[in-house]
Amino acid sequence: MNNTLSRRQILLGGMGVSISHWLLAKAVSQRDGAGTCTGVASEQVLAIALQRGDPGGHYRRALATFPFQQFSDMVLKAFFIEGGQRPGQRPRNIPMFDIAPSKLLIALRVCADYSMVWLAKEKNDGPIGMNYLDKIGIPHVYALVGAMLAGVDYLTVGAGIPDSFPIMIDAVLSGQLVKYPVPVSEIGRSTFHEMCFDPSGFFGENLPEMKRPAFFPVIASNLLAQVLLRMKKLQGKIDGFVIEGPTAGGHNAPPRDHEVDASGDPVYNERDVVNFRKIADYGLPFWIGGGIASPEKLRWAISEGAVGGQIGTAFAFCQESGMDPELRRRVARLAYEGKLKIRTSSLASPTGFPFKTVEGLDGTLTDPHIQVERACTRGALRTLFRKIDGSIGYRCPAEPVDIYVSKGGLHEDTAGRQCICNGLLATAGLGNSDFPKIVTSGDDLPRLMRALMNGPDDDYTVDKVFEYLAA
Ligand SMILES: Cc1cc2nc3c(=O)[nH]c(=O)nc-3n(C[C@H](O)[C@H](O)[C@H](O)COP(=O)(O)O)c2cc1C
């Protein structure tokens, strides 16, 4: 692993969809941090940006350097609209990932992760990483190739047990078939469908020489650190950890004892507290995530043996963030004024993981007056199930209940589930105009906005976050 990376105290949290996009990642890595781009639904992000005419020409600049031009041309031809979509013009259909994606969708995904890393690294020597969620497994084999072609420095992977990533990295480096096992629900047993990608077969020539990115699993317990480090296949292939606590924004690990409060939200107890000294004993660099964005907390993390902190919320609401600027400033102002509450919802996310939602924002998905019709139109969080005829089907607990149940899904799994694919794309200003946004943040949001803003209408930058943390 590159030495400067293991000395960077501030690791930008990977924040989907498109919150920690390349501009934010670049800004953080230029300020002595490590800049993580989010890889969540990046194919949607690239296709939508191209349909909007690629303002600033950034993606076209990146795609002009893609090593297999025939494929980037295919992507541009399919999605780029000169001057952007006209009012009333229907957006081009972006296919959903399934186990047999089209050539165009594969090219789109490889090009998306390539472009994001390439743009974050453009005229920038600082370390740039990619964040993936184990749970969104179908596109990983393509995404990783794109990120590695652009020279990604490290990967942070959470929301599951990401033990297949180092094996995929080896396969990409040695020109082998890249494989990722995606779970398939089946009555009475759990099986996997192996996604396979042969990059040289696909591109028609061998991949250029690439470097090995460092691999940092994002985990929430001593137990998982131990399990991963004991796996034979991972020996020497884990370069460090991000240890994320239950106050962090985004999805959280469920409590070990599965305790819930009266409203069904998770309750964490002392069994969820990580012993960082034990993590430090492994001798690998690690960063602590969740409420670390203060000078005192950062010093405490370092005193526990960590390199520093993985920070999300403080950066999600700064100028360089990928969040829709109007929404971002509204949330920051209301948080500054103490008018918002952060909830850890057991139900909101179709993934089944607890998900932090910002409550008190009229017109967003957490507003009880907002009703949206259930539908699955993006498909990023669909899971696989085995149909009676043995073939594979797809379902998401946020789709219409009767459809989900007709696919063998449990009725109780649909309660309260919302389409966060469309909600999060809307939050990044990339959604359909009529779909409500959904905002996630860490518990620390109100305190942070008061620490970082000079008044309710202030708009702070990445620089301000670094200055505050160094105080
Ligand atoms: C808006 C937002 C989106 C997030 N999305 C993701 C994600 O897609 N993948 C992930 O691993 N973590 C995600 N996180 C968690 C961050 O990567 C990071 O670990 C966390 O924000 C650290 O805690 P903090 O929010 O208290 O700083 C997200 C956090 C926020 C605030």
The region that residue 324 occupies, defined by phi over 0 for left and psi between -120 and 50 for alpha, beta otherwise, is beta
| Domain 5-323+459-469 falls under CATH 3.30.450 | no
For atom 5 of ligand 1, which residue has the closest CA? 15
For atom 28 of ligand 1, which residue has the closest CA? 250
The ligand 1 atom at the shortest distance from the C-alpha of residue 19 is 1
For atom 17 of ligand 1, which residue has the closest CA? 13
Q: Give me Rg for the CA atoms of the chain.
A: 21
pTM for this entry: 0.96
The region that residue 252 occupies, defined by phi over 0 for left and psi between -120 and 50 for alpha, beta otherwise, is beta
- Asked whether 249 and 15 are in contact (CB, 8 A), the reply is yes
CA distance linking residue 47 with residue 198, whole number of Å:
23
Residue 385 is classified by DSSP as E
For atom 10 of ligand 1, which residue has the closest CA? 14
Please say if the pLDDT value at position 187 is more than 90.
Answer: no
* Distance in Å, CA 403 to ligand 1 centroid: 31
The ligand 1 atom at the shortest distance from the C-alpha of residue 38 is 8
| Mean model confidence pLDDT for the chain | 94
Please say if the pLDDT value at position 150 is more than 80.
Answer: yes
Mutate to test the pocket of ligand 1, among 10, 11, 12, 15 (most ligand atoms within 8 A of CB): 15
Nearest Cα to Cα of residue 193 among 405, 408, 407, 385 = 385
> What is the number of residues in the chain?
471
Q: What's the pLDDT at 6?
A: 84
CA distance linking residue 132 with residue 206, whole number of Å:
25
* Distance in Å, CA 266 to ligand 1 centroid: 18
* Distance in Å, CA 250 to ligand 1 centroid: 5
Please say if the pLDDT value at position 468 is more than 90.
Answer: yes
Q: What's the pLDDT at 188?
A: 75
Q: Which of 142-146, 160-164, 316-320 has the lowest mean pLDDT?
A: 160-164
* Distance in Å, CA 155 to ligand 1 centroid: 14
Please say if the pLDDT value at position 74 is more than 70.
Answer: yes
pLDDT band with cut points at 50, 70 and 90 for residue 2: low
User: What are the counts of helices (DSSP H) followed by strands (DSSP E) for the chain?
Assistant: 17, 14
Helix (H) / strand (E) containing 117: helix 103-121
Q: Is the dihedral of CA 80, 81, 86, 89 positive or negative?
A: negative
For atom 7 of ligand 1, which residue has the closest CA? 15
CA distance linking residue 468 with residue 11, whole number of Å:
15
* Distance in Å, CA 21 to ligand 1 centroid: 13
The ligand 1 atom at the shortest distance from the C-alpha of residue 293 is 27
* Distance in Å, CA 298 to ligand 1 centroid: 17
- Integer CA distances (angstroms), 118 to 36, 63, 402, 455, in order: 12, 9, 43, 36
Question: SS3 of 256, please?
Answer: coil
Question: SS3 of 225, please?
Answer: helix
Instruction: Return the domain boundaries, the chain.
Output: 5-323+459-469
Q: What's the pLDDT at 92?
A: 83
Please say if the pLDDT value at position 432 is more than 80.
Answer: no
Mutate to test the pocket of ligand 1, among 24, 215, 313, 447 (most ligand atoms within 8 A of CB): 313
For atom 3 of ligand 1, which residue has the closest CA? 15
* Distance in Å, CA 288 to ligand 1 centroid: 12
For atom 4 of ligand 1, which residue has the closest CA? 15
Q: What's the pLDDT at 434?
A: 82
Q: Which residues line ligand 1 (CB under 6 A)?
A: 13-16, 19, 38, 40, 131, 133, 158, 218, 244, 247-250, 289-291, 293, 310-313, 316, 440-442, 444
Please say if the pLDDT value at position 154 is more than 70.
Answer: yes
Higher pLDDT, 348 or 14: 14
Q: What's the pLDDT at 268?
A: 93
CA torsion, ordered 256, 261, 264, 268, to nearest 10 deg: -20
CA distance linking residue 57 with residue 188, whole number of Å:
51
* Distance in Å, CA 165 to ligand 1 centroid: 20
* Distance in Å, CA 198 to ligand 1 centroid: 32
* Distance in Å, CA 273 to ligand 1 centroid: 19
CA distance linking residue 109 with residue 128, whole number of Å:
18
Please say if the pLDDT value at position 161 is more than 90.
Answer: no
Q: What's the pLDDT at 88?
A: 81
* Distance in Å, CA 249 to ligand 1 centroid: 5
pLDDT digits (tens, 9 = 90+) for 324-360: 999 999 999 999 999 999 999 998 899 989 999 999 9
Please say if the pLDDT value at position 262 is more than 90.
Answer: no
pLDDT digits (tens, 9 = 90+) for 78-91: 999 999 998 888 77
* Distance in Å, CA 311 to ligand 1 centroid: 7
Nearest Cα to Cα of residue 248 among 163, 147, 136, 131 = 131
The ligand 1 atom at the shortest distance from the C-alpha of residue 443 is 26
* Distance in Å, CA 44 to ligand 1 centroid: 19
CA distance linking residue 51 with residue 425, whole number of Å:
15
For atom 16 of ligand 1, which residue has the closest CA? 13
For atom 14 of ligand 1, which residue has the closest CA? 250
Q: Alpha helix (H) ranges present in 10-93?
A: 22-30, 42-51, 58-63, 69-79
Q: What's the pLDDT at 129?
A: 98
